[in-house]
Amino acid sequence: MARITLENLKHSYADKPENDDDWALKHLEFECADGGAYALLGPSGCGKTTLLNIISGLLRPTQGRVLFDGEDVTDFMPDRRNIAQVFQFPVVYDTMSVYDNLAFPLRNRGIAGEALDKRVRLIAEMIDLTDTLHQRAAGLTADGKQKISLGRGLVRDDVNVIMFDEPLTVIDPHLKWQLRSKLKELHQQVGTTMIYVTHDQIEALTFAEQVVVMHEGSVVQIGTPVELFEKPQHTFVGHFIGSPGMNVIGCELDKGKATLAGTPVATAPVKNEPQPGANLEIGVRPEFITFAKSGIPVNVVRVSDTGRFSIVETKHKDQSIKLLVPEGGIIPSEAAHIRFDAKHTQIYADSRIIT
């Protein structure tokens, strides 16, 4: 396993990139610690696959370097990088048994005999394939086949990194949660550096110790799931993560004090003064807003009951503000007041946090 450093990376598919939009990766610099579990999370088109292909060596970056444990591998072909990859769709040999499929990457490396047998059986046990080891892979369901793919990704213990590219796409929704938690468990057991690419926040937050959130070719935040939830560094992170996402509401700021259309709002303290003319917004998650006797005047416009809580959509002037009310909580029928939990209320200037 290895520490992976991405240094000053940029990538464009255009021959002569001219403007910002010509760059699939705008400027990227971060490090994955040896043995860490990382997720690359972002919507379609944000550059996840481009970055994955640069790490695996399928693509040479237009600018910058990729290092494994400090060694520059930018010009190494994929086979010299010693990585394992698990793709969206199962890659299995249908005519072989499950055992032979799992043994394949080891045999390719010249491993045989007891060492091979022990490793195959250990991995089969981890991914619940022991009972099917001697069946032909062709007879397995799509879920079973994807488990083989996972097993083949995990079976070698000498790889620098295992990369997963949306590996749960073909898995039935009711089995997804099982495999999601299984993958986290597997990381703890094998301890290899792992990078998991997904657009699904639940998969990323369940699996990763550190989530790398990407937006339009840039990394907008790297953090633990709790950090991303409690203190999004960018309005995109707040909005993309959470269900519903963070409320982002236009505001004014005077000497560090925020107001919403004239109503004062307590927020976390401002740490960086915004540039003059910056677009100022308050970010507060629905979980940190409550109905109160006084505060910000709103009208309740819609209530959606999800069982354990209700999502209440309110309007303050023309701004929509959502809050969560736990089951059994009182929801006013029309005009009401709401309050934000100051500690969890942040201010953003041109989408970046300043509190």
d(CA 346, CA 251): 11
Nearer to ligand ATP among residue 161 and residue 284 (C-beta): 161
Strand partners, 290: 339
- E-only strand ranges, 62-144: 63-68, 71-72, 83-86
> At closest approach, how far in Å is the CB of 46 from ligand ATP?
4
DSSP secondary structure letters along 260-272: ETTEEE--SPP-S
> At closest approach, how far in Å is the CB of 45 from ligand ATP?
4
Is the distance from CB of 47 to CB of 20 less than 8 angstroms?
no
Q: Give the residue among 221, 218, 177, 226 at the shortest CA–CA distance from 200.
A: 177
Nearer to ligand ATP among residue 49 and residue 63 (C-beta): 49
For the record, the structure tokens of 14 come out as: 């255009």
Nearer to ligand ATP among residue 23 and residue 340 (C-beta): 23
> At closest approach, how far in Å is the CB of 217 from ligand ATP?
7
Question: Cβ atoms within 10 A of the Cβ of 224, count?
Answer: 13
Nearer to ligand ATP among residue 23 and residue 288 (C-beta): 23
> At closest approach, how far in Å is the CB of 21 from ligand ATP?
8
Nearer to ligand ATP among residue 42 and residue 151 (C-beta): 42
Taking each helix axis as running N to C, give the angle between helix 142-154 and helix 113-126, from 0 to 180 degrees, rounded to the nearest 10: 130
> At closest approach, how far in Å is the CB of 42 from ligand ATP?
6
Nearer to ligand ATP among residue 13 and residue 343 (C-beta): 13
> At closest approach, how far in Å is the CB of 166 from ligand ATP?
7
Instruction: State the residues that interact with ligand ATP by CB under 6 A.
Output: 13, 24, 42, 44-50, 199
Is the distance from CB of 211 to CB of 225 less than 8 angstroms?
yes
Between the two ends of the chain, the Cα-to-Cα distance in Å is 38
- DSSP helix, strand, coil percent of the chain (3-state; round to 5): 30, 35, 35
> At closest approach, how far in Å is the CB of 188 from ligand ATP?
27
Nearer to ligand ATP among residue 199 and residue 317 (C-beta): 199
